[in-house]
Amino acid sequence: MGFAELRVQNIRCIESAELCLHSGCTLIWGGNGAGKTSLLEALYLLGRGRSFRTRRSEHLIRRGAERLTIFGRSETGLEYAGLEFDRLRGSHAKVNGTTLGSLAELTLTFPVQVIDPDIHKLVEESGRRRRRWLDWVVFHVEPRFGEWWVRYGRALSQRNAALRVRADARPWEVELVDLGERISEARRATVAALQPHWRQVIAAVGCPEGDLQYARGWSSQLSLQEALEGSRKRDEVRQATQAGPHRADVLIHVAGRPAREVLSRGQQKLMAAALTLAQLQLLRDTSGVLPALLLDDPAAELDAEHLATFVQQISRLGCQLVVTSLQPEIPGFRRPDRVFHVEQGRVSPV
């Protein structure tokens, strides 16, 4: 389900903008610092409730303004969402007029994924980023996953609180173990389902062959209950739970070594982009969900040869594209269906 309409007020350098997006390819072009990426950020916020550029929501609000507001409507016209970040009151969102309990619920209304200049961090950085990447797709293929994760987080917080005051943490372990095992199995199954899609994409874009493995956050030789019992004394010392799916990772290896140690920055970008495209293929084939794909100046990140193969893989998906560029065209892509120009925070249709 793609975006048909976007309205924003007070996001970064943009005071106000309205865009009618095409179901095919929409190009947003302009110079550096004009506000192109801020519009992608607004779309991402509508689908995730957070930015792909910063973890601090107050940084999104235009200087001198008190709040940021975003409104979006789906291609069907039946789904619409409003999102607000206020410096004093925090954030809240509504879908079809109903206030959401969590911004994460926006994912079901506007599924969206992004490939931006920091995509290499998916390979280069710690497991936290890869867990978030994996959980987004698990959320779509396992309908109960979101509920499990919220409940697991509560049980984990309670156990950690007990550890901090040196109370008995075991009462919280029944739910922690049950939900942790479910979460881990859903993740493992999703990584297994991703494998053929990922291998096909990395081969097509000329990326070195790699190995993708889910590490669940505790020993594969133990149940989660056994792992908690074995780490109890260490947990009491550190006052935090050391075993569980909150410690999981998706391991990426090339020739038996961590990919971040083997691949160049350009190769890391290709591999991370391949992981993202594999996600979209899996969702399309298993659940019929086809997220909107945001591409932040892809021509600046890839050479001509890799860009051509990358574009071919994206074209096979058939998803809605919103692309930024420094030029009024997208090198390697077909002619866009709709074009907007951004200059000094002002957005105009072309």
pLDDT digits (tens, 9 = 90+) for 234-268: 999 999 999 999 999 999 999 999 999 999 988 99
Neighbours of 153 (CB within 10 A): 12
Domain ranges of the chain: 1-111+291-350
- 83-99 mean pLDDT: 93
Asked if 1 and 79 touch (Cβ cutoff 8 Å), the reply is yes
Least confident range from 153-157, 278-282, 331-335, 337-341: namely 331-335
Sheet holding 257-258, edge to edge: 211-215, 249-254, 257-258
How does residue 16 score in pLDDT terms, banded at 50, 70 and 90?
very high
How does residue 99 score in pLDDT terms, banded at 50, 70 and 90?
very high
- 176-193 mean pLDDT: 98
| Cα(274)–Cα(282) distance, integer angstroms | 12
DSSP conformation letters of 204-256: HTTPPP-EEEEE-SS-TTS-HHHHHHHTHHHHHHHTS--SSGGG-EEEEEETT
- 15-31 mean pLDDT: 96
Residue 37 pLDDT = 96
Residues 6 or more apart in contact with residue 337 via CB below 8 angstroms: 22, 23, 24, 25, 26
Sign of CA dihedral 162, 168, 173, 174: negative
Residue 60 pLDDT = 94
Residue 217 pLDDT = 97
More confident of the two residues 57 and 19: 19
- Cα maximum dimension of the chain: 65
Percentage of the chain beyond pLDDT 70 is: 99
55 has a pLDDT exceeding 90:
no
Asked if 265 and 123 touch (Cβ cutoff 8 Å), the reply is no
Residue 51 pLDDT = 94
Residue 77 pLDDT = 79
Percentage of the chain beyond pLDDT 90 is: 79
- 293-310 mean pLDDT: 83
Question: What mean pLDDT value characterizes the chain?
Answer: 93
More confident of the two residues 205 and 176: 176
Residue 114 pLDDT = 96
Cα–Cα distances in Å, from 236 out to 72, 177, 179?
Answer: 47, 18, 22
Indicate the burial class of 220 (C-beta count within 10 angstroms; 0-12, 13-18, 19 or more).
Answer: exposed
Phi, psi of 346, deg, nearest 5:
-105, 135
Asked if 99 and 92 touch (Cβ cutoff 8 Å), the reply is yes
Residue 309 pLDDT = 85
Bridging pattern class, strands 211-215 and 249-254: antiparallel
Residue 82 pLDDT = 95
305 has a pLDDT exceeding 90:
no
How does residue 321 score in pLDDT terms, banded at 50, 70 and 90?
very high
| Residue whose token pair is 């917080």 | 157
| Cα(8)–Cα(69) distance, integer angstroms | 6
Structure-token pair, residue 105: 């619920």
Superfamily classification of domain 1-111+291-350: P-loop containing nucleotide triphosphate hydrolases (3.40.50.300)
| Residue whose token pair is 């976007």 | 6
Residue 107 pLDDT = 87
| Cα(87)–Cα(68) distance, integer angstroms | 9
Model confidence, pTM: 0.94
